[in-house]
Amino acid sequence: MSIIVQKYGGTSVGRPERILNVARRVLDAQAQGHQVVAVVSAMAGETNRLIDLAAEVTGEGRQPTEREMDVLLATGEQTAIALVAMAINAMGGKAVSLTGAQAGIETDGVHTRARIANITPGEVHRYLKDGHIAILAGFQGRTREGRITTLGRGGSDLTAIAMAAAIDADLCQIFTDVDGIYTCDPRVIPEARKLDEISYDELLEMASSGTKVMQSRSVEFAKKFGVRFEVRSSLNDHPGTLVREENMSMESVVIRGVSLERDQAEVTISGVADHPGNAGKIFGAVAEAGILVDMIVQNVSKTGLADVSFTLNKADLARAETTLKPVLAEVGDQVLLEAEDGIAKLSVVGIGMRSHAGVAAEMFATLADAGVNIRMITTSEIKITVTVSEDQIETAAQTVHDAFGLGGEITETGG
């Protein structure tokens, strides 16, 4: 008998009638002859509500201990699994809920962002063999000593992928409130097309440039353990997008998708003395302040002075400027820091880029034709990213999406 792992996110169980919908879907899957494990997130908004409650009782400027935070946050998923199991049982099915600890998910002791160390799924197997549907709490585990831990925001995806690997599931389905992975955000490009399949690396690159359908850590885990999974909607029966290892035919599609990220800012530090250690000083200070930077560009110095630019979230810009002020004097005599917000990133992603020449040229020429000025450019093996003025991002995305033929019916040879 085949084993199927289904994951339902917070919106899929956000209201009682949605929970009934999940119960019906899970029962359907069982009726089709599968053994079913359903991993469930907290009801939509619940984790945030718990975080707010913690802040209220702790008081401003103080942090609750992370141990207690985990005890608190784990209740969100615990509520949801009990309700889903009850709904299934009320429909005449046989379901049991299992917390992370009961399902054998052992983690390290890093509270609020624990890593899975080991899974012993004996209890899950036992219930499945017994004809039960196992309803598993996402996002949580326990340390070897028995402390409750959570896996970081969005961690239910990881629970599903890791459990699918541990029990060698035949299929892993991530149910969410969108139909799958699209060639671009359909709110920006209405004719964006749902992809039949995408490789792990492409999905990771799309995620890092704004297409957040799944927690990246889960995709990395899936890649490492070769877990194929399907992203699809819990609200209809449309087929979703299969996320898998790449195959030869995937390379025939040059660009899989276009992704964009708004609310970015650029920082340029010019006049940095060209000797070892300066880049380390700049980015060391930024890292110490816990600020994430993204595109980093430095030009080759012709005059003994270099310019260093990077992007970051607009929300972190003021803090980055404050952090960098004292560092400037250490990296040159006449260093200047310029910052600008109102920036957005646009990326094209596709493993086909490795074997097709001229993708960058085509992207840049297309943007020029549309009157869009490119500010920064960075590339990886399968991604080209540019920054543009935020008020031009929609035009830019639309033109590039059109130029690479992503909107209309293109034939994909993959399968």
Contacting residues toward Mg ion, per CB under 5 A: 9-10, 41
Smaller CB separation from ligand ASP, 47 or 366: 47
Chosen from Mg ion, ligand ASP, none, partner binding at 359 (C-beta under 5 to 8 Å by type): none
Q: How far apart are CA 101 and CA 124, in angstroms?
A: 11
Pick from 310, 312, 276: nearest CA to 296: 310
Closest distance of CB 210 from ligand ASP, Å: 19
Full 3-state SS string of 183-211: CCCCCCCCCCCECCEEEHHHHHHHHHCCC
Smaller CB separation from ligand ASP, 199 or 215: 215
Chosen from Mg ion, ligand ASP, none, partner binding at 352 (C-beta under 5 to 8 Å by type): none
Stretch 45-74 residues interacting with ligand ASP (CB under 6 A): 47
Chosen from ligand ASP, Mg ion, none, partner binding at 221 (C-beta under 5 to 8 Å by type): none
Contact call for residues 305 and 271 (beta carbons, < 8 A)? yes
Instruction: Using DSSP, state whether 2 is helix, strand or coil.
Output: coil
Sign of CA dihedral 100, 105, 111, 115: negative
Chosen from Mg ion, ligand ASP, none, partner binding at 153 (C-beta under 5 to 8 Å by type): ligand ASP
Chosen from ligand ASP, Mg ion, none, partner binding at 47 (C-beta under 5 to 8 Å by type): ligand ASP
The enclosing H or E element of 3 equals strand 3-8
Q: How far apart are CA 37 and CA 174, in angstroms?
A: 12
Smaller CB separation from ligand ASP, 43 or 386: 43
The size of the interface with ligand ASP (CB under 6 A), counted in residues, is 12
Among 153, 228, 262, 319, binds ligand ASP (CB under 6 A): 153
Pick from 239, 224, 296, 238: nearest CA to 267: 296
x/- site string to ligand ASP, residues 8 to 47, per CB under 6 A? -xx------------------------------xx----x
Question: Residue type for 387, please?
Answer: T
6 is a site residue for ligand ASP (CB under 6 A): no
Radius of gyration of the chain (CA): 24
Closest distance of CB 159 from ligand ASP, Å: 8
Closest distance of CB 160 from ligand ASP, Å: 9
Closest distance of CB 14 from ligand ASP, Å: 11
CB atoms within 10 A of CB 131: 10
Closest distance of CB 155 from ligand ASP, Å: 5
138 is a site residue for ligand ASP (CB under 6 A): yes
Smaller CB separation from ligand ASP, 8 or 404: 8
Instruction: Using DSSP, state whether 358 is helix, strand or coil.
Output: coil
Residues facing residue 349 across a β-bridge: 257, 383
Closest distance of CB 73 from Mg ion, Å: 12
Smaller CB separation from ligand ASP, 139 or 200: 139
Contact call for residues 150 and 74 (beta carbons, < 8 A)? yes
Q: Which two tokens stand for residue 46?
A: 């619940």
Pick from 392, 395, 282: nearest CA to 331: 282
234: which residues sit within 8 A by CB, 6+ positions away? 8, 9, 12, 18, 21, 22, 25, 175, 176, 177
Chosen from Mg ion, ligand ASP, none, partner binding at 76 (C-beta under 5 to 8 Å by type): ligand ASP
76 is a site residue for ligand ASP (CB under 6 A): yes
Chosen from Mg ion, ligand ASP, none, partner binding at 257 (C-beta under 5 to 8 Å by type): none
Smaller CB separation from Mg ion, 39 or 291: 39
Which residues bind to ligand ASP, rule: CB under 6 A?
9-10, 41-42, 47, 76, 138-139, 153-156
